[in-house]
């Protein structure tokens, strides 16, 4: 592990510190702040010439600020002669804008990919992208991790009986199928109709859920509309306890109130995004992915297989 350096911006320093501890390292010395007019200021306070640099920065709320902060950091490292710059983006902002689903709209996930490459990024490490196709937006090496090992290990310790994994929509079916395979259980699907960008209505449950313990699986929870509507539909179909698992706890708008008043027994999320104390209600439990990200960083640096982490 020679010539490897870890740095972080202001998006999620506690996760970066935890990753560093898992690697028996300390975070590099860098100043990331703002001028009085709001412009981002970055200064690397140590020599990194010829080093393998990893910048840990989920592009979560405020998304635009954290993206620009990351870009300015990359530029600083490039100009300081880092040998290789890898951005570790546990949560990829703008991932939901990955295609033209309406006339005259941008493909912002592609735009951000272009920005990272233009800034000087040599490699990307991300976790549970909203759609796998985002990897194709990059013409540089891209390592895509999944939080499924962390989440499924959590459920295995409860030894739940008569379990079925459910995807709350068609788009998440592939993710849910992998989850079900890891647990060795059946798979079902809730077909939904989206009313607008923050509201959806569950329509039909496809698969047998009556008398079963359900684990709803999704890549992220934003306003929690899809999740809560799916839980309601499953309860009406005779499901018993309804758990939910999601990698990214975006939790905006009415999400917390919806979860409080829902049929969900518990929502299990990870710390790819910082979850403030006021959002850590009894129904929400946060698991750490620091060891998984740390192991991936170590393997990338040592030119070892990352795909073996998926097994």
**Residues assigned a catalytic role:** 192
SS3 letters across the chain: CCCEEEEECCCCHHHHHHHHHHCCCCCCCEEEEECCCCCEEEEECCCCCCCEEEEECCCCCCHHHHHHHHHHHHHHHHHCCCCEEEEEECCCCCCCCCCCCCCCCCCHHHHHHHHHHHHCCCEEEEECCCCHHHHHHCCCCEEEECCHHHHHHHHHCCCCCCEEEEECCHHHHHHHHHHHHHHCCEEEEEEEEEEECCEEEEEEEECCCCCCEEEEEEEEECCCHHHHHHHHHHHHCCCCCEEEEEEEECCCCCHHHHHHCCCCCEEEEECCCCCCHHHCCCCEEEECCHHHHHHHHHHHHCCCCCHHHHC
Task: Please report, in angstroms and rounded to a whole number, the separation of the first and last CA atoms in the chain.
Answer: 24
Q: Can you tell me the distance from the alpha carbon of 124 to that of 144, in angstroms, rounded to the nearest whole number?
A: 8
179 and 187 Cβ atoms separated by less than 8 Å: no
Q: Can you tell me the distance from the alpha carbon of 120 to that of 118, in angstroms, rounded to the nearest whole number?
A: 5
């Amino acid at each position: 592990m020679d010539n490897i350096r870890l740095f972080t911006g202001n998006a999620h320093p506690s996760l970066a510190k935890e990753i560093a501890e898992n690697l028996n390292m300390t975070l590099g010395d860098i100043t990331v702040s703002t001028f009085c007019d709001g412009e981002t200021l970055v200064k690397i306070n140590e020599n990194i010439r010829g080093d393998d640099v990893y910048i840990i920065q989920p592009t979560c709320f405020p998304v635009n600020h954290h993206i620009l902060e990351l870009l300015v950091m990359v530029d600083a490292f490039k100009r300081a002669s880092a040998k290789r710059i890898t951005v570790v983006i546990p949560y990829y902002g703008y991932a939901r804008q990955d295609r033209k689903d309406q006339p005259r709209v941008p493909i912002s996930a592609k735009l951000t990919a272009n920005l990272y490459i233009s800034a000087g990024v040599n490699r990307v490490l991300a976790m549970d992208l909203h759609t796998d196709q985002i990897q194709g937006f990059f013409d540089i090496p891209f390592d895509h991790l999944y939080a499924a090992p962390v989440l499924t290990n959590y459920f295995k310790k409860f030894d739940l009986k008569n379990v079925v994994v459910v995807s709350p929509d068609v788009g998440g079916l592939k993710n849910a199928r992998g989850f079900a395979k890891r647990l060795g259980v059946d798979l079902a699907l809730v077909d939904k109709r989206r009313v607008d960008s923050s509201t959806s209505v569950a329509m039909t449950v496809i698969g047998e859920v009556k008398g079963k313990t359900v684990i709803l699986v999704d890549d992220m929870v934003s306003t929690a509309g899809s999740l809560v509507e799916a839980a309601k539909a499953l309860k009406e179909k005779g499901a018993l306890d309804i758990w939910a698992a999601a990698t990214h706890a975006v939790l905006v708008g009415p999400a917390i109130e919806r979860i409080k008043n829902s049929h969900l027994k518990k929502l299990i999320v990870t710390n790819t995004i910082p979850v403030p104390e006021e959002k850590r209600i009894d129904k929400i439990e946060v698991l750490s992915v620091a060891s998984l990200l740390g192991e991936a960083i170590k393997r990338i640096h040592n030119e070892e297989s990352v795909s073996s982490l998926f097994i």
